[in-house]
Amino acid sequence: MSEASIVVVGLTLVTFVFKGAGAMLARVPESVARRLPGLAPALLAALVTSLALGDDGLPRLDAKFAGVAVAVVLAWRKAPLGVCIVGGALTAAVIRLFS
Amino acid sequence: MRIAPRPLILAALPPSAAVGVFGVSYGVLGTAADIPGWQLVVMSMTVFAGSAQFAVVSVLATGGGALAAIVSGGLLNSRYLPIGVDAARVLPGGRLKRALLVQLVVDESYALGIGAGRPGAPDGSAMISSGVLLWLAWVGGSALGVVIGPVLGDPERLGLDAAFPAMFIALLWPMLSSPGTRRCALGGAVAVLAVAPWAPAGTGLALAALVGLALAPTS
């Protein structure tokens, strides 16, 4: 087996177990279930933060950061999802075009 | 479970478009790293997790080896353990069927499911219908990137790296209406800022999931 096929099979199994473990559990303890609504806001904020950081994990004022800032304003103004995505991407692309 | 109504499908279209372009980028980079195209596409079908697949490609491209690639991809996907627990509660069927359906849950379909659900639980049909669309976009985009990538070039320069944080901001914003969820969001962001400069990718996300559960309002 090639290195790449080992990785495909291995990561498929690992991901399947991570995603499926909750479904295979008999039932979720009440103490955990009550806290699950805290998961989505924490994870989405964590995704935004980690994607907005530079490759070294440190904040950086660059075209990407400007795009994220525009998306924050658009989300605050209650713009639709598609407008936020395109607004953020377009801002970063235009800044790169002129820098 | 009913067939997904139109608003659920419409809500899933913008993230699916972004994921499709991201898939093209993945196909381009994977091909450049000399990974066979069909293996890149199979990985998109069976793993269906963009950030982990990018991590795998970059580890293999730099000669890190299979084990390191699986570990770094697995670390990035560890957040799907708590997400899977939350999502599986509202999916139909027995254990096996739910374990299969929950494979369609990714960050985007989870967030759309939370947005369409009642307070405290995501909506199952929203997660599944958007998950199917996102899967088609991701696999289709990956295949397109493998085929036309060498001609087209990497779409990253189109601002794709800003499109994803922008999308997650838009998905997060409606959840910030109560002090309890704002506290969880702040905790998740701080967790990433604290560990991102020195810990492997994915550690911050796993820590943020724990912080979110710890800070969750329990009343």
Question: pLDDT averaged over chain B?
Answer: 90
What is the tens place of the pLDDT at every residue in B166-193? 999 999 999 998 999 999 999 999 999 9
Domain ranges of chain B: 6-155
What is the tens place of the pLDDT at every residue in B10-55? 889 999 999 998 898 899 888 888 899 999 999 999 999 988 998 8
| Residue among B30, B32, B35, B25 nearest B164 (CA) | B25
More confident residue, B61 or B79: B79
Question: Locate tokens 């690992």: which residue?
Answer: A14
ipTM above 0.90, yes or no: yes
Count Cβ–Cβ pairs < 8 Å, chain A vs chain B: 314
Determine contact, residues A36/A22, Cβ cutoff 8 Å.
no
Percent of chain B at pLDDT > 90 equals 66
pLDDT of residue B154: 63
- In 10 A of CB A88, how many CB atoms? 32
Contact at CB, A85 and B166, closer than 8 angstroms: yes
User: pLDDT grade, residue B213 (50/70/90)?
Assistant: very high
What is the tens place of the pLDDT at every residue in B107-157? 999 999 999 998 888 999 999 999 999 999 999 999 999 998 777 666 666
Q: Is the pLDDT of residue B84 over 80?
A: yes
Q: Is the pLDDT of residue B104 over 90?
A: yes
User: A56 by DSSP, 3-state: which?
Assistant: coil
Domain of A67 in residue numbering reads as 3-97
pLDDT of residue B45: 97
Cβ of residue B38 closer than 8 Å to a chain A Cβ: no
Contact at CB, A36 and B17, closer than 8 angstroms: no
pLDDT of residue B156: 64
Residues 6+ apart with CB under 8 A from B160: A89, B18, B21, B22, B25
CA–CA distance from B46 to each of A12, A13, A16 (Å)?
Answer: 6, 9, 9
Q: What is the pTM of this model?
A: 0.88
Contact at CB, B159 and A91, closer than 8 angstroms: yes
Report the alpha-carbon distance of residue A39 to residue B215 in Å, rounded. 9
Distance from CA of B154 to the nearest CA of A (A): 13
Is residue A58 within a helix (H) or strand (E), and if so which, with residue range? Answer: none
pLDDT < 50 stretches in chain A: none
| Interface with chain B: mutation pick from A78, A81, A96, highest number of B CBs within 10 Å | A81
